[in-house]
Amino acid sequence: VQLQASGGGLVQAGGSLRLSCAGSGSIFSINAMAWFRQAPGKEREFVAVIRWSGGSNGNTFYRDSLKDRFTISRDRAKNTVYLEMNSLKPEDTAVYYCAAGRPITSSMRSDSAYPHWGQGTQVTVSS
């Protein structure tokens, strides 16, 4: 599975961005795609995941502190997952990575549960 992330950039605080992650290759081998982020000097952290189960819109789970501002969604026909980020804050500045795999429920927030990773896209929020 190959993942191509895009959509990052520089935005002012309060603004919005939409990240995209396009999957290709052995898509049949995965049942979830997730976003993680890593800020300078910090460990990579879970942002959101969408699992294929749960109908056409999938099941979604978020980092608690982000669920009111971020929305993960997917376009099944395009094998693409999106991360809509609103009301951005300077502390959202990070490299955002998309990941894919078949995580079990108890591990879906752990980066070790995802064998496939995109290259990362930089999001910078200015104050």
Mean per-residue pLDDT for 35-57?
90
Q: Which helix (H) or strand (E) holds 29?
A: none
- In the predicted structure, residue 11 carries a pLDDT above the cut 80: yes
Q: CA 62, CA 50: separation in Å to the nearest integer? A: 9
- The pLDDT-based confidence of 52 (bands split at 50, 70, 90) is confident
pLDDT at 58: 75
DSSP assignment of 49-111 equals EEES-SSTT-EEEE-GGGTTTEEEEEEGGGTEEEEEE-S--GGG-EEEEEEEE---GGGTTSG
Residues 74-109 have pLDDT tens digits of 998 999 999 999 999 999 999 999 999 999 999 999
Query: Over the chain, what is the mean pLDDT?
Result: 95
- In the predicted structure, residue 55 carries a pLDDT above the cut 70: no
pLDDT at 26: 92
Q: Check residue 120 and give left, alpha or beta (phi > 0: left; psi -120 to 50: alpha).
A: left
Residues 71/81, Cβ–Cβ less than 8 Å: no
Q: What percent of the chain has pLDDT over 90?
A: 91
